[in-house]
Amino acid sequence: MNEDRTALPPVFSEKNFYLEEFYGKSLVFALVPPAGDRTAELRSLHRTLRELRRNQTRCLVTASPAAMTHLTRRLGRIAPTGGPLRFNPAAGIRSRPYPPDSAISAIWEALRSNPIVLIEVEAREPTSLVSFAHRLAGRLRVFKLLLLDRAGGLVDNSGNRHSFVQIGRVACLLRSIRSAHRRLLVRAARHAIDAGVASVSLVAPDQVYEELFSFSGTGTIFTEGGYGNARPISIDDFEEVEALIIRAQNEGFLLSRNRQEIARLLPSCFGYRIGDEHLAGVASLLTEPYRRDRAGEITALYTLTRFQGGGVAAELINELIHEARRRRLHYLFACTTEERAASLFEHMGFYRVEPGDVPPAKWRGYDRKRIALLNIFRCDLGDRHTQDADSK
């Protein structure tokens, strides 16, 4: 919904948001063979582990013997001094529980000494290591399992990345994947989620830093449920929402506002959160300037790149419509120059109107030249006379 491309300087670090999310949590990283047998491709993982170590995040890294040699060399001083723990999945993987209690105790003892624990898995092919990794992640019920595969996240037949996959859709997804290796990874993600892991990321090893610490991501996230739900944000979310709005402005998606103008939007913002992940999208229902008209404006609608096309914006708009009805508003309106947003509003039942069909307060101090560029949409919210009678 862009009307001005003047950028504000960023006031936040995406990395900091995710570090806060990972603080005190446990993550399992699995280098899926042949990933990791080249030292050069481990640079991103090294950088990631260094950040997480400072953040007091527990990191378990599983790798084949060939990859472990390169990984230990790449990690250098942050590698545990006692060397890796060693497991042979051929011995006991069919027993329950697996890994056994003694192995979990050994891992915990190792974590007491260093938040990074390396686990060498006797496996020359991917199947055994992937099976071990998802069983380990499920046994520990870690916050996230990261499957580091050279092919990275999943893509469809047109080459578009699947940024997010609900586990309930895996059966359908598997039918479209021809590679046995990729089906192995998708099944591992499903098994891990079923065992209690909060989320699984499938990502290339040289992109893991961007996957964990950026809003756009680089791989595919698997979670158990749907996206979640849209709801009003709390004051504890204000900083994150402000960050998303400024990001959207700098990308040219939203009207440029200064800090004070953004602050006036925050109390009326709704956010869409995906499970334990950060916000996937935001939108504001602005009503105070239009109180006399009993109208509301949908503004600052933005969805993170990796979740665009996944229904987040539609869910936010639906929630704002419900909220508008609860407030007994006569109508909602929205202004945009973005074609994608215009198509979405039409799909959601809004219709195109002229500037005179929305509150005059909208145009006070507004550049007349910009008004001519806008697509203006309106959604009426039922019988006005009935609502007026109900409000008396």
pLDDT tens-digit map of 194-237: 999 989 999 999 999 999 998 778 999 998 865 567 889 888 88
- What is the reported pLDDT for 383? 52
Is residue 198 within 8 Å of 169, Cβ to Cβ? no
Sign of CA dihedral 243, 244, 245, 249: positive
Distance CA 302, CA 379 (A): 19
Share of the chain above pLDDT 90, in %: 62
AA letter at 155: V
Asked if the model's pLDDT at residue 12 lies above 50, the reply is: no
Size (the chain), residues? 392
- What is the reported pLDDT for 391? 40
Asked if the model's pLDDT at residue 268 lies above 80, the reply is: yes
- At 187, the pLDDT band (50, 70, 90 cuts) reads very high
Sign of CA dihedral 250, 253, 257, 262: negative
Q: How many CB atoms within 10 Å of residue 144?
A: 23
Q: 70: which 2 tokens? A: 């390169």
- What is the reported pLDDT for 15? 81
- What is the reported pLDDT for 387? 42
Distances from the Cα of 224 to the Cα of 45, 128, 154, 159, 189, angstroms? 26, 24, 17, 25, 10
Q: 370: which 2 tokens? A: 């910009």
- At 156, the pLDDT band (50, 70, 90 cuts) reads confident
Asked if the model's pLDDT at residue 301 lies above 70, the reply is: yes
Distance CA 258, CA 216 (A): 24
Strand partners, 87: 121
Asked if the model's pLDDT at residue 95 lies above 90, the reply is: no
Name which of 92-106, 154-168, 213-227 the model is least confident about: 213-227
- What is the reported pLDDT for 389? 36
- At 10, the pLDDT band (50, 70, 90 cuts) reads very low
pTM of the model: 0.75
Q: CB-based contacts of 20: which residues, under 8 Å, 6+ apart? A: none
- What is the reported pLDDT for 6? 42
- Structure-model confidence comparison of residues 204 and 251, the more confident one: 204
What the chain holds in terms of domains, given with CATH numbers, is 14-223 (3.40.1160.10), 229-391 (3.40.630.30)
Asked if the model's pLDDT at residue 278 lies above 90, the reply is: no
Distance CA 70, CA 62 (A): 13
- Structure-model confidence comparison of residues 306 and 317, the more confident one: 317
- At 276, the pLDDT band (50, 70, 90 cuts) reads low
- What is the reported pLDDT for 154? 94
Residue 196 Rama label (left phi>0; alpha psi -120 to 50; beta): left
Over residues 166-178, the mean pLDDT reads 88
Is residue 59 within 8 Å of 52, Cβ to Cβ? yes
Average pLDDT, the chain: 88
Q: Is the peptide bond before 355 cis (omega within 30 degrees of 0)?
A: no
- What is the reported pLDDT for 386? 36
Cα 128 to chain centroid, rounded = 29
pLDDT tens-digit map of 332-363: 999 999 888 999 999 999 999 999 999 999 99
Distance CA 23, CA 57 (A): 5
